[in-house]
Amino acid sequence: MYRQPAMGDYGSNGYHHHTNHQHSGGGQVAAGHRGRRGSRGRQRRDGSGSNSSASRVYNYYGAQQQEKEEERAPPPPPCTDFDVAYFHSYAHVGIHEEMIKDRARTETYRNAILQHQSHIAGKVVVDVGCGTGILSIFCAQAGAKRVYAVDASDIAIQANEVIKANNLSDTVIVLHGRVEDVEIDEEVDVIISEWMGYMLLYESMLGSVIRARDRWLKPGGLILPSNATLYMAPVTHPDRYSDSIDFWRNVYGIDMSAMLPLAKQCAFEEPSVETISGENVLTWPHVVKNVDCYTVSVHELESITTSFRFQSMMRAPFHGFAFWFDVEFNGPDLNPSNNDTSSFNASSNGYVTDPNQRKKRPNPNEALVLSTAPEDPPTHWQQTLIYFYDPIDVEQDQVIEGSVTLSQSKENARFMNIHLEYASGGRSFVKESVMR
């Protein structure tokens, strides 16, 4: 999390107090899907208010790198009212409680920090979107020389108090501002961030990690997580359809089927974040996008298109598509090159022939994986489902093919437009939705 900075004085640990701005974008985003990551409209962390002035580490460590930064990175994007609302939503403690209580998430990050302790001990770290500061503290406990904990949300105020309470003020410096706007007067060895949104890319927080990388990361530095993979697969979910739709056919003996069109629209117009099991998945998954955090560009994430071809493993009603993701915590030397799908056991079109092979490596100790797949322990991300208004009956071995495009919304870059074209059994369909 990072909020737009304003000028002010630093406390003893370099914390920059942020002057509150009016949140004119207030309710526009906070009531959205990330009422799921808590009410995490998972409006993630990245900016707020006017960006006319920037948080500064007050000449804390010598020579300024401003000229170098300006050469390496384009001007930061403006902070919109949607950004303000996004950061404001992260000031609520419930969102952070939900994330921290997600043991698969939090313990995997802690284990990754310990696994890469040799890259962290005695080194300089940036925690992009630090929230309550827990990952920054893990890095300090692993021996980091210095940790810059950056967050644009007012939760940074509490993070600073947490740092003080744990006697880490000499190590962890809280910067209250957007990562695009704060200044760090030295290169860093490590970037850590829990940037993933629903469907991996919702909220567009990865862009801030990329900007931190391009501004400050030393050549050969470490990024955690290092890689991410977004998957999709056709699913069947009769219980969900029955609960939301078939219910209206007979309500206390009354035929209320006239409600069906509205019920379908309300239940299935937008993506749904919920938990399914491996039994709901009709096919092996398809790789929508591999992301190499060392090389990915902001432009590359603006629109992603992939073609898919599935073959159903059973006869069942086909209710829609599910999306989920994995992230890996490789060191720089183990990181696969960008768009190299070989380490994901995928064919040239991104089709995974065996999902049980997804996470295998020549040496399983080389990489930690945090997975949100249906067959893995549930996380607060759950899975994201795009439901059809009416199911399609498919036979075993029946082919389902088409394409999907995920693009940043022009209305708000933190929203995601989803355009699905799919065909099966001689019929073709189009489904469009927006993840808000």
Q: Could you tell me the CATH number of the domain that includes residue 242? A: 2.70.160.11
Highest mean pLDDT among 40-54, 199-213, 352-366: 199-213
3-50, pLDDT tens digit by residue? 333 333 333 344 444 433 333 333 333 333 343 344 334 333 333 333
Which long-range contacts (C-beta less than 8 Å, at least 24 apart) are formed by 217-221?
217/187, 217/188, 217/189, 217/191, 218/187, 218/188, 218/189, 220/332, 221/188, 221/189, 221/190, 221/191, 221/332
In sequence order, the 6+-apart residues with CB closer than 8 A to the CB of 5 are 16, 18, 51, 53, 54, 55, 175, 176, 177, 178, 181, 182
Looking at the DSSP assignment, which residues form a beta bridge with residue 399? Answer: 311
**Is 261 part of a structural domain of the chain?**
yes
115: tokens are 């696994």
364 and 407 inside one domain: yes
SS (H, E, C) 132-201: CCHHHHHHHHCCECEEEEEECCCHHHHHHHHHHHCCCCCCEEEEECCCCCCECCCCEEEEECCCCECCEC
**Block residue for tokens 């078939």:** 246
Q: How many CA atoms, within 13 angstroms, populate the side-chain half-sphere of residue 125?
A: 34
| Preceding amide of 317 cis, omega within 30 | no
Look at residue 82 in the predicted model and tell me its pLDDT: 77
146 and 235 inside one domain: no
Domain count, the chain: 2
Alpha-carbon span 329 to 346, nearest angstrom: 19
**Is 7 part of a structural domain of the chain?**
no
200 and 246 inside one domain: no
**Block residue for tokens 């206390």:** 252
Burial of 253 (0-12, 13-18, 19+ CB in 10 A): exposed
144-195, pLDDT tens digit by residue? 999 999 999 999 999 999 999 999 999 999 999 999 999 999 999 999 999 9
Look at residue 258 in the predicted model and tell me its pLDDT: 98
Alpha-carbon span 291 to 302, nearest angstrom: 13
Identify the domain boundary among 224, 257, 288.
224
Identify the domain boundary among 224, 242, 275.
224
Please calculate the CA angle 36-42-47 and round it to the nearest 5 degrees.
Answer: 165
Query: Has residue 216 got a pLDDT over 70?
Result: yes
**Is 8 part of a structural domain of the chain?**
no
**Is 22 part of a structural domain of the chain?**
no
Query: Has residue 356 got a pLDDT over 90?
Result: no
Quote the DSSP letter at residue 56. B
**Is 213 part of a structural domain of the chain?**
yes
302-340, pLDDT tens digit by residue? 999 999 999 999 999 999 999 999 999 998 766 554 334
Query: Has residue 113 got a pLDDT over 50?
Result: yes
Alpha-carbon span 192 to 200, nearest angstrom: 16
393-410, pLDDT tens digit by residue? 999 999 999 999 999 998
Quote the DSSP letter at residue 123. S
296 and 370 inside one domain: yes
Strand pairing class (272-274; 383-394): antiparallel
Look at residue 204 in the predicted model and tell me its pLDDT: 85
Q: How many CA atoms, within 13 angstroms, populate the side-chain half-sphere of residue 14?
A: 25
Among residues 88, 16, 84, 22, which one has the least CA distance to residue 47? Answer: 84
Look at residue 73 in the predicted model and tell me its pLDDT: 54
**Is 20 part of a structural domain of the chain?**
no
| Residue 74 pLDDT grade (very low, low, confident, very high; cuts 50, 70, 90) | low
**Is 348 part of a structural domain of the chain?**
yes
Query: Has residue 424 got a pLDDT over 60?
Result: yes
202 and 249 inside one domain: no
Q: Which residues are catalytic?
A: 194, 203
213 and 255 inside one domain: no
70: tokens are 């300006």
Look at residue 20 in the predicted model and tell me its pLDDT: 37
237-293, pLDDT tens digit by residue? 999 999 999 999 999 999 999 999 999 999 999 999 999 999 999 999 999 999 999
Please calculate the CA angle 348-349-352 and round it to the nearest 5 degrees.
Answer: 90
**Block residue for tokens 């489904």:** 431
98: tokens are 């939900």
User: What percentage of residues in the chain have a pLDDT greater than 90?
Assistant: 68
What is the dihedral sign for C-alpha 72, 78, 83, 88?
positive
Mean pLDDT calculated for residue range 360-370: 63
213 and 283 inside one domain: no
234 and 219 inside one domain: no
In sequence order, the 6+-apart residues with CB closer than 8 A to the CB of 118 are none
Among residues 228, 230, 232, which one has the least CA distance to residue 209? Answer: 228
188 and 84 inside one domain: yes
Alpha-carbon span 329 to 88, nearest angstrom: 29
Residue 100 domain boundaries: 27-224
Between the CA of residue 67 and those of 57, 72, 73, 269, what are the distances in Å?
16, 9, 10, 48
Residue of 352 and 150 predicted with greater confidence: 150
Identify the domain boundary among 187, 205, 224.
224
CB 29 within 8 Å of CB 21:
no
121-151, pLDDT tens digit by residue? 999 999 999 999 999 999 999 999 999 999 9
- Total-model pTM: 0.81
Mean pLDDT calculated for residue range 65-72: 49
59 and 116 inside one domain: yes
User: What percentage of residues in the chain have a pLDDT greater than 70?
Assistant: 75
**Is 13 part of a structural domain of the chain?**
no
60 and 180 inside one domain: yes
Q: The domain spanning residue 212 has which CATH number?
A: 3.40.50.150
285: tokens are 């998954």
What's the start-to-end Cα distance of the chain, in Å?
Answer: 19
249 and 137 inside one domain: no
